[in-house]
Amino acid sequence: MDRSGRTSLQTFSLVFGLVYLIIGVAGFTVTGFDDFAAGPVDGTLIIFGLNPLHNIVHILIGGAWVLSSRTHATARIASLGIGAAYALVAVLGFFGALKFLSIDSLADPDNFLHIATAALAFYFATAGSEEATAATS
């Protein structure tokens, strides 16, 4: 636990939640609000293709992570769930099954970001659980 009484999992959930919220909102500067589930409208955000639906998904995930960061138990549940969802999204993305989210090929950078997000979520949900157990023993 850090000085604020948060576990590393809670801090991870808060930070990643805020990052996903910011990316979701910033994505609308690229896509606008038209062509809701189309491919990238005006290009990309950094190297990632976006559409308004993709932006809303990022905002919802970010919000879930921020809200879950209040307690270790809810942060663990959210991180495991979001990690599992992102692992599935990465696999589906590699097979081109997510064109409606503008993730459309094996080499799409989104797939690699989703794998990294899933791995970090699983890591903190499991390693952070050990930290919380040690702190209360």
Could you tell me if residue 15 is inside a domain?
A: yes
Cβ contact 41:32 at 8 Å: yes
Query: Is 1 within the bounds of a domain?
Result: no
Give the residue-averaged pLDDT of 17-38: 87
Number of domains making up the chain: 1
72 lies in which domain range?
Answer: 8-131
Q: Is residue 75 part of a domain?
A: yes
In a domain, 23, yes or no: yes
Q: Is residue 67 part of a domain?
A: yes
Note whether residue 68 is domain-resident. yes
**How far are the Cα atoms of 38, 75, 107 from residue 104, in angstroms, in the given order?**
12, 30, 9
The model's pTM: 0.81
Flag whether pLDDT at 37 surpasses 90.
no
Per the domain annotation, does 51 fall within a domain?
A: yes
How far, in Å, CA of 71 to CA of 7, rounded?
9
User: Which whole number is the average pLDDT over 102-117?
Assistant: 78
| Average pLDDT of the residues in 116-125 | 96
